């Protein structure tokens, strides 16, 4: 049973001081605490069999997760920039260079999986993996600031829809609270 505790800013400072690395997120399992978001993702993926079936599939899943971390770092530049002029420049760079580059990488991965006789519509192998979740989640915030990112990428739109409507995910995705960045 997962409890998703999102904290208001007021409680955050108090709680952070009690966290092992004084940052969030932290996963608590049976009273034990685990820091680092990607470590948490990989642990949960192993627990719930979302890492790929073979060593090769596992590597391909990690390749996509690491690629999404590269995208997240690019978007973070926009989030943390305070100067309006520079922020607009980063926004243009994201729209003209960064999103198209990552969209191409993801389309190639989707097509590569199909060419390996996987008609699942997932990124790696025949089943949902952490790679699909990582792509879905990493694009969620950018789509709120740049809603047209996927306009020219029908396969990625279909992939997003597939994750959003997955029977084990749709309730959670449609009912979870919006998170300020
Ligand atoms: N590499 C860490 C970074 C964790 C991190 O920097 N978390 C931020 C929030 S995104 C935090 O808790 N900062 C302290 C604060 O908000 O005061 C991870 O991915 O979990």
Burial code (b: 16+ CB inside 10 Å, e: under 16) for 20-29 equals: eeeeeebbee
Range of the domain at 130: 55-164
CB-CB neighbours of 128 under 10 Å = 21
- 92 domain-assigned: yes
Atom of ligand 1 nearest to the CA of 25: 20
Report how far apart the first and last C-alpha atoms of the chain are (Å, whole number): 26
So what's the pLDDT on residue 36?
Answer: 97
- Look at 82-91, 113-122, 159-168 and tell me which has the smallest mean pLDDT: 113-122
Q: Whose CA is nearest to atom 15 of ligand 1?
A: 23
| Domain total in the chain | 2
Atom of ligand 1 nearest to the CA of 23: 12
Same domain, yes or no: 95 and 17: no
Q: Cα of 48 to ligand 1 centre, how many Å?
A: 25
Same domain, yes or no: 62 and 138: yes
The model's pTM is: 0.92
Same domain, yes or no: 100 and 27: no
28 three-state secondary structure: strand
* Per-residue pLDDT reduced to its tens digit, 121-170: 999 999 999 999 999 999 999 999 999 999 999 999 999 999 999 999 99
CATH of the domain at 110: 1.20.1050.10
Q: Whose CA is nearest to atom 20 of ligand 1?
A: 36
DSSP of 38-105, one letter per residue?
Answer: HHHHHHHHHHTT-S-SSHHHHHHHHHHHHHHHHHHHHHHHHHH---HHHHHHHHHHIIIIIHHHHHHH
Same domain, yes or no: 27 and 99: no
Mean pLDDT of the chain: 93
Q: Cα of 35 to ligand 1 centre, how many Å?
A: 9
């Amino acid at each position: 049973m997962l409890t998703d505790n999102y904290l208001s800013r007021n409680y955050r400072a108090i709680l952070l001081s009690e966290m092992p690395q004084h940052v969030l997120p932290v996963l608590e399992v049976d009273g034990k605490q685990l820091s680092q978001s990607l470590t948490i993702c990989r642990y949960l993926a192993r627990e719930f069999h979302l890492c790929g079936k073979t060593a090769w599939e596992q590597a391909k899943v990690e390749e996509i997760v690491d690629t999404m971390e590269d995208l997240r770092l690019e978007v973070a530049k926009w989030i943390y920039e305070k100067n309006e002029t520079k922020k607009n420049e980063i926004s243009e760079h994201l729209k003209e260079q960064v999103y198209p580059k990552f969209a191409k990488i993801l389309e190639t991965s989707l097509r590569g999986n199909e060419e390996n006789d996987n008609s699942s519509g997932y990124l790696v192998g025949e089943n949902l993996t952490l790679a699909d979740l990582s792509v879905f989640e990493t694009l969620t915030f950018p789509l709120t600031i740049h809603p047209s990112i996927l306009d020219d990428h029908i396969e990625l739109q279909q992939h997003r829809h597939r994750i959003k409507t997955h029977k084990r995910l749709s309730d959670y995705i449609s009912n979870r609270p919006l998170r300020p960045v």
